[in-house]
Amino acid sequence: MERLLVLARHGQSEWNLKNLFTGWRDPGLTDRGVAEARAAGHALKQAGYGFDIAFTSELVRAQHTCALILEAMGLADIEVVRSQALNERDYGDLAGLNKDDARARWGEAQVHLWRRSYDVRPPGGESLKDTGARVLPYYIETILPRVMAGQRVLVAAHGNSLRSLVMVLDHLGPDTIAGLEIKTGVPLVYRLGADTTVAAKAVLARDDATGR
């Protein structure tokens, strides 16, 4: 039984390129983001992985990434489940603002707290703790049973929704999670043991033209 779980952050979005807080706003992928997603799919296929089901968020950048990965693997027809529980962290009043402009207005330290701390909410938005409060029940109730039944599972989502999941899978504390960056389009490959804990983990390197 494989118990395979692969996490992939969406490829570069239009607002990633513009250095804007995105959250639940819904920009599409850039050309680079499309290339990153396709390269992730090719890398997974080349490494011999396959999937029986995929999960993604209600936001188009994650959905497009999921579709591109599966298409590159020749798996475009498998079941894809969408859920708001996997959406990016809600940045509230910061959504749409340039990150450098936000630093100039509120200061580097405050913006860093909003972006990377565990339990500090941006104005009108969610903390990473809040994000985990919706991601983790969905993982436990919906995704994990599929993995434990032997299905090979892909989750294509967002930097912070995946950070909250990786925090639990990798047993990272609130202080450590602040420094964790999940790169766009780089798959994290987990093998789970019979007790649902992580038996093995690998970061799948991309060999592509994006330079990342």
Tell me the β-bridge partners of 29. Answer: 13
Burial of 100 (0-12, 13-18, 19+ CB in 10 A): exposed
| Token pair in block for residue 185 | 């389009």
Q: Is 2 a catalytic residue?
A: no
User: Where in the chain does DSSP place strands (E)?
Assistant: 4-9, 53-56, 79-82, 153-157, 188-192, 198-203
Catalytic residue among 64, 88, 126, 158: 88
Q: Is 71 a catalytic residue?
A: no
Catalytic residue among 10, 36, 64, 126: 10
Alpha carbon dihedral 52, 4, 117, 174, in 10-degree steps, equals: 150
Distance CA 10, CA 187 (A): 10
Nearest to 84 by CA among 54, 59, 121, 65: 59
Give the phi and the psi of residue 167 in degrees, each rounded to 5: -55, -40
Distance CA 52, CA 144 (A): 13
| Token pair in block for residue 47 | 């490494």
Q: Which residues are catalytic?
A: 10, 88
